[in-house]
């Protein structure tokens, strides 16, 4: 018997900039600002070259508390596909380490025009609805959240199940 689990979402990340490609992201100074903060400017080109091997869907810059983020008021996340699965990962120039932590789910929240009435869509003007449909079709993300009560093993024995989940529901793991 299949059971349904209600996912509790938390750790909301507010998007302040969104990019659809590595190239458009690199035309800005976000990555260099982050790398400069850690004395790692020399690693930026290598890190971005690494990501060119993957299907990158979005790069997000989100608000962060400088007290807990080494003085930076932003973090960068990359949304990509690898091994038939969708992932979200914090983007940095430092070393990456493998972790035995389980994968959590990511929920992307589409941006909405000001004044959008979701309770009764008939209350919205044609312009508001058109703007909202454009935000949806352009995949404009206002924030994203991580699951707090649902996590998945990342062992090779379950990879096929995780791949199938990504195909059927556009699920993203972090």
Domains of the chain, residue spans: 9-173
Task: Convert the pLDDT of each residue in 48-106 to its tens digit.
Answer: 888 888 899 999 999 999 898 888 899 999 999 988 889 999 988 765 555 677 889 99
User: What 3-state DSSP class applies to 33?
Assistant: helix
Q: What is the mean pLDDT of residues 102-126?
A: 92
Distances (CA, A) of 132 to 13, 42, 110, 124, 139: 21, 41, 9, 10, 10
What is the structure's pLDDT at 108?
A: 93
Residue 163 has pLDDT above 70, yes or no: yes
pTM to 2 decimal places: 0.83
Predicted local distance difference test score (pLDDT) of residue 44: 85
Q: What is the mean pLDDT of residues 146-154?
A: 88
Q: How confident is the model at residue 120 (pLDDT cuts 50, 70, 90)?
A: very high
What is the C-alpha separation between 24 and 27, in angstroms, rounded?
5
What per-residue confidence (pLDDT) applies to 2?
A: 63
- The rounded distance, in Å, linking the Cα atoms of 57 and 80 is 5
Per DSSP, the residues of 6-32 read PPPEEEEEEEEEEESSHHHHHTSSHHH
Which pLDDT band holds residue 4 (cuts at 50, 70, 90)?
confident
8 A C-beta contact, residue 54 and residue 81:
yes
């Amino acid at each position: 018997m299949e059971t349904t689990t209600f996912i509790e979402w938390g750790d909301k990340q507010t998007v302040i900039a969104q990019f659809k490609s590595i190239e458009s992201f690199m035309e800005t100074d976000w990555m260099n600002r982050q790398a400069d903060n850690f004395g790692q400017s020399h690693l930026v080109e290598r890190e971005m070259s690494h990501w060119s091997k993957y299907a990158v869907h979005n790069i997000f810059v989100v608000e962060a508390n400088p007290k807990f983020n080494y003085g930076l008021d932003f973090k960068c996340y990359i949304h990509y596909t690898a091994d038939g699965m969708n992932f979200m990962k914090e983007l940095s120039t430092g070393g990456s380490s493998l972790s035995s932590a389980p994968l959590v789910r990511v929920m992307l929240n589409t941006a909405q025009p000001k004044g959008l009435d979701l309770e009764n869509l008939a209350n919205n003007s044609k312009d508001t609805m058109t703007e909202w449909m454009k935000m949806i079709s352009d995949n404009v993300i206002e924030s994203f959240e991580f699951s707090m009560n649902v996590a998945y093993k990342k062992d090779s024995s379950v990879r096929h199940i995780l791949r199938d989940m990504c195909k059927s529901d556009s699920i993203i793991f972090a």
